[in-house]
Structure 1
Amino acid sequence: MNWVAWEKTIAPIEYGGLGFGSLKDANLAMLAKWWWRFKIEKDGLWRNLIWAIHHNNRSWTAIPAKVSMSGPWKQIMSIHDPLARRGIDLKKTMKTVMVNGSDTSFWLDGWMGEIPLNLRYPRLFSLERSKMCNVADRINPNVSGPRILWDWVRPISNDQENHELQDISALLSAISVSSGLDRLFLSSFNRSRPNRVFMWNNWTPKKVGIVAWRAEKIRLPTKEALARRRINIPNLSCILCGEYVESSDHLFVACHFAQTIWQNIASWCKIPPIVAFDIRALLDLHGFIQGSRKRKKALHAIVLIVIWCIWKTRNEAMFNNAQPHIVKVLEEVKSLGFFG
Structure 2
Amino acid sequence: MFLFNNFIGELEVEDLNVLGRRYTWYHTNGRSMSRIDRVLISEEWSQAWWENSLWVLSRDVFDHCPLVLKHGGWDWGPKPFRFNNFWLENLNFKGVVEEAWRNQNVSGWMSFVLKEKLKGLKVKIKEWNKEEYGGMEERVEKLVEEINDLDELSEEVRGLSEGEEALWKRVLVKKYGEGVSSLLDGSNLVWPRYASLWWKEVVKLGDYGGLDWFNSVVKRKVGNRLATSFWNDRWRGVKCFRLKYPRLFSVSNQKEALVGEMREILEVGPGWKFLWRRNLFVWEEELLLSLREDLEGMVWSQEADVWRWGLEESGVFTVKSVYLSLEEVVLSEDRWREDEKRVFKCLWKIPAPSKVVAFGWKVFHNRIPSKVNLVLRHVLPYEESSLCAVCARMEETSLHIFLHCDLAISVCLRIMIWLDCLFLTPSNLFVHWECWGGGERNKKVKRGRWLIWLATIWVLWKARNDNIFNQKIPILDDIVEEIKVLSLRWLLSRTQSPICLFYEWNWDPISCLVRVGSRHSWRLVVCFDFGSAAGGWYC
Same fold (TM over 0.5): yes
Q: Equivalences for 1:33-52 in 2 at 5 Å?
A: 35-36=170-171, 38-39=173-174, 47=178
Q: Residues 157-180 of structure 1: CA distance to partner in whole angstroms, max 9, x if unpaired?
A: x233222123223333x4323333
Q: Residues 217-239 of structure 1: CA distance to partner in whole angstroms, max 9, x if unpaired?
A: 33445455566665435683674
CA shift, 1:184, in A, is 2.3
Aligned residue type for 1:232:
E
Find the counterpart in structure 2 of residue 96 from structure 1: 220
2:450 to 276, 280, 300: 300
Output the aligned Cα RMSD: 4.6
Identity of aligned residues (%): 23
Aligned residues of 2:390 and 2:407 also touching (Cα < 8 A): no
Q: Quick one: distance in 2 between partners of 1:316 and 1:130?
A: 69
Aligned residues of 2:254 and 2:275 also touching (Cα < 8 A): yes
Q: Equivalences for 1:141-180 in 2 at 5 Å?
A: 147-152=271-276, 154-156=278-280, 158-172=281-295, 174-180=296-302
Q: Residues 94-138 of structure 1: CA distance to partner in whole angstroms, max 9, x if unpaired?
A: 522234545433333222234332343344335545444443454
Higher relative contact order (CA 8 A, sep 6+): 1
Aligned residues of 1:236 and 1:245 also touching (Cα < 8 A): yes
2:183 to 64, 78, 95: 64
Q: Quick one: distance in 1 between partners of 2:299 and 2:363?
A: 57
Find the counterpart in structure 2 of residue 248 from structure 1: 398
Going from structure 1 to structure 2, the CA distance change for 1:84 and 1:113 (only over 3 Å counts) comes to farther
Q: TM-score, normalised by structure 1?
A: 0.62
SS class of match (1:276): coil
Task: Please say which of residues 287-296 and 260-269 is displaced more in the overlay.
Answer: 287-296
Aligned residue type for 1:184:
V
Task: Please say which of residues 146-155 and 246-255 is displaced more in the overlay.
Answer: 146-155
1:236 to 379, 387, 390: 387
CA shift, 1:303, in A, is 0.8
Aligned residues of 1:216 and 1:280 also touching (Cα < 8 A): yes
Aligned residues of 2:388 and 2:401 also touching (Cα < 8 A): no
Matched, 1:118 2:242: yes
Find the counterpart in structure 2 of residue 13 from structure 1: none
CA shift, 1:243, in A, is 5.2
Q: Quick one: distance in 2 between partners of 1:303 and 1:283?
A: 7
**Unaligned runs of at least 5 residues, structure 1:** 1-27, 55-62
Aligned residues of 1:99 and 1:180 also touching (Cα < 8 A): yes
Task: Please say which of residues 194-203 and 299-308 is displaced more in the overlay.
Answer: 194-203
Q: Quick one: distance in 2 between partners of 1:259 and 1:302?
A: 15
CA shift, 1:299, in A, is 1.5
Count the aligned residue pairs: 288
Q: Quick one: distance in 2 between partners of 1:249 and 1:71?
A: 47
Find the counterpart in structure 1 of residue 415 from structure 2: 265
Aligned residue type for 2:459:
C
Q: Quick one: distance in 2 between partners of 1:115 and 1:282?
A: 50
**Structure richer in strand, relative to its length:** 2
Going from structure 1 to structure 2, the CA distance change for 1:280 and 1:155 (only over 3 Å counts) comes to same
Going from structure 1 to structure 2, the CA distance change for 1:183 and 1:296 (only over 3 Å counts) comes to farther
Going from structure 1 to structure 2, the CA distance change for 1:296 and 1:36 (only over 3 Å counts) comes to same
Q: Quick one: distance in 2 between partners of 1:82 and 1:227?
A: 30
Aligned residues of 1:96 and 1:184 also touching (Cα < 8 A): yes
**Unaligned runs of at least 5 residues, structure 2:** 1-160, 162-166, 312-321, 491-539
SS class of match (1:107): coil
Q: Quick one: distance in 2 between partners of 1:268 and 1:326?
A: 14
Q: Equivalences for 1:16-27 in 2 at 5 Å?
A: none
Q: Quick one: distance in 2 between partners of 1:36 and 1:285?
A: 49
Q: Quick one: distance in 2 between partners of 1:98 and 1:235?
A: 61
CA shift, 1:80, in A, is 7.8
SS class of match (1:95): strand
Matched, 1:289 2:407: no
Aligned residue type for 1:166:
L
SS class of match (1:336): helix
Aligned residues of 2:389 and 2:396 also touching (Cα < 8 A): yes
Q: Residues 198-246 of structure 1: CA distance to partner in whole angstroms, max 9, x if unpaired?
A: 8357744556556544433334454555666654356836744x65444
Find the counterpart in structure 2 of residue 20 from structure 1: none
Going from structure 1 to structure 2, the CA distance change for 1:232 and 1:132 (only over 3 Å counts) comes to closer
1:192 to 327, 346, 369: 327
Aligned residues of 2:220 and 2:235 also touching (Cα < 8 A): yes
